[in-house]
Structure 1
């Protein structure tokens, strides 16, 4: 079986995004179910896969990152309301036997992601 993982890179400071709140939701039709909630470690990664084993299923998911709170805790001056606050990445898992790595590259003004392994 595969696994789902993530990490956060803070491009404004050129370092891992440590202490970012991460939530994972399963999405079915109009219903979202919280599967897990964690905080990134000093390397900007989660200590364990977000999904693995029997929990790794094909379907639609959302990762929600507390980027605005992270930048505020770093002492970054942010406008109110924040331009980038909660970053929501909606994605699908087609083959649960594969590894899915969904990183967040973020600043207070932009973000991007990609599918890694």
Structure 2
């Protein structure tokens, strides 16, 4: 079985996928606790469905350890016409840190955003 990391982003205020939000995926290190310099694994933008066209990482690229997705929410909300007065989002960048123990599994980490809050969960 091949591991993979995926995400998608939905705009709760607009009721639609988030198109063109910038996302970075960082590898922060192994679970052992030994200090490592964070490593940028990739930078992405969501498609018309609020997803990437392929996994962020897959196969041998996925290693056990701690990862962080950083979503540029302020950039996205700054260009949303349907929010007008709400376009000044409280959240500029939304970091989601998660741990991979079994690199053969699928880790789907979606983000649901609104100008005043956000939510995430482990999807399928």
TM-score by length of 2: 0.87
Match of 1:32 in 2: 38
Match of 2:69 in 1: 63
Match of 2:47 in 1: 41
Q: Which runs of 5+ in 2 are unaligned?
A: 30-34
What is the Cα deviation at residue 31 of structure 1? 2.1
Higher Rg of the two aligned structures: 2
Pairing 1:38-117 to 2, within 5 Å after superposition: 38-75=44-81, 76=83, 77=85, 78-79=87-88, 82-117=89-124
TM-score by length of 1: 0.92
What CA deviation, in whole Å up to 9, does each residue of 1:50-70 have, x standing for no partner? 110110111000000011100
In 2, distance between residues paired with 1:95 and 1:53? 12
In 2, distance between residues paired with 1:4 and 1:92? 11
Q: Secondary structure at the match of 2:38?
A: strand
Match of 2:24 in 1: 23
Aligned length: 115
What is the Cα deviation at residue 30 of structure 1? 5.5
In 1, distance between residues paired with 2:24 and 2:96? 11
In 1, distance between residues paired with 2:105 and 2:91? 31
Q: Secondary structure at the match of 1:68?
A: helix
Pairwise CA RMSD: 1.2
